[in-house]
Structure 1
Amino acid sequence: MTSDQAWDLLVDARHHARWIPWTTVSTDGPPAVGGRVEARTARVLVDRMTITRLDPPDGDRAGVAVFAKRGPLLLGRALIAVRADGDESHVLWLEDVHLAGPLPRALTRAALRPVLAGTAALALRAVRRELRAGTPARA
C-alpha cells in the first residue's frame, strides 16, 4: 500500500467506525481543514473534532493530519502521520487528550493515555487486516 492510499484511508474519519468497536462517525464531508467530525462510542461518549491540519504525503515528506478535540468530554488533539518507506507505509497515530472539567489535565491525560493508545492500536490492526483482505471499502 502506498503512503497516499494509507493517507486517504486513515485521515477520512468516516472509515474509523469500521475499526473502533461500538462507534459511529459522522462528518460534514470528505476530510478538509475546518471539517467537522463527530464520533459516538456506545451511544454515550461524544467526541467532537475539527480538522486543523491536513498536509498529504509528498515524496519523502510524511503526511500529517491533526484533529482538535472540541468536547464535550474530550479535549486536546489527535495526530495521524503517514510516511512512505519503499513499497510500505509507516503510520504514527498519537493522541494528546484530557477530560473537560475540574480535574487536573495531567491526571486525566495520564488516565486516558493507555485507553487511547489501545484504541489506536486496535484500529491500526483492523486496518492492516482489511488491507490484507483486499481493497478497503470507500466511505
Structure 2
Amino acid sequence: MGRVTSLPIDAVVRSFPVDAATAWGLVADLRNHERWIPMTRVSLDRPAAAGATVTAVSGPFARRGFPGLADVMTVDRYDPPVGAEPGVATFTKVGHVLKGHASIVVVPAGPSSSRVLWSENVYLAGPLPRRLTEAVLKPFLGGMVRYALMKARNEARATDRNA
C-alpha cells in the first residue's frame, strides 16, 4: 500500500466519531450504500476487492427488483486503513449511461475519530459533451454524497454511543 499523493479537490469531507477501521467498515462496504441512497439497490459480483464489479440500480421501485438507472462500477483499489495510513477505495464507472470515477478515502484523525472523503466525477455517455454532462450531474451527485455521508455518520454516532 502506498501513500495517497493527491485527493480530489471536489471531495465531500465529513468527520466521523469512530476510528478509521470502523469508519472504513461502514462506508467502504458498498452494500451499506443502499441504506443511505434513496431508491437504490446495490449488488456486488463478489466481496469488495480490486477487480470486483458493483452495480447500483436507482429508480422508484429499484429496491423491489424493478429496473432503473444502472451505475456499474469496477473496483480499481480497495485498501483498508492500516495504522496512520488512510484507507482508499477507487472505482471506475463503466455502465452504458454513467461514466467516470469515484473514490472513498478514510483518514485516521485520532484513536476514536476519522475523516471520510468521498468524491464522484461522473458524466453521461453519449453525444453530449462530457464537460456539459459533468456540470449538470455535479450538484445532484454532490447532494447525494452529502446526504449519504450524513446518514453514515449518524450510524457511526449510534454505534459509538452503543459501544
How does the TM-score come out when normalised to structure 2? 0.79
Alpha-carbon distance in 1 for matches of 2:159, 2:77: 29
Query: What are the equivalent positions in structure 2 for 1:25-36 lying under 5 Å apart?
Result: 25-36=42-53
Query: What are the equivalent positions in structure 2 for 1:41-120 lying under 5 Å apart?
Result: 41-42=58-59, 43=62, 44-86=68-110, 87-120=112-145
Deviations for 1:92-124, whole angstroms, at most 9, x for unmatched residues? 000111100011111111111111111011000
- Measured on the aligned residues, the alpha-carbon RMSD in Å equals 1.2
Percentage of pairs with the same residue:
49
Q: Write out the 4+ residue segments of structure 1 that deviate beyond 6 Å after TM superposition.
A: none
With a CA cutoff of 8 Å and minimum separation of 6, indicate the structure with the bigger relative contact order: 2
Structure 1: 5+ residue stretches without partners: none
Alpha-carbon distance in 1 for matches of 2:78, 2:41: 22
Larger C-alpha radius of gyration, 1 or 2?
2
Partner of 1:17: 34
How does the TM-score come out when normalised to structure 1? 0.92
Alpha-carbon distance in 2 for matches of 1:9, 1:37: 16
Partner of 2:152: 127
Please say if residues 29 and 48 of structure 2, whose CA atoms lie closer than 8 Å, have aligned partners that are also in contact.
yes
* Bigger fraction of residues in strand: 1
Deviations for 1:14-46, whole angstroms, at most 9, x for unmatched residues? 110000000001111221100111001113211
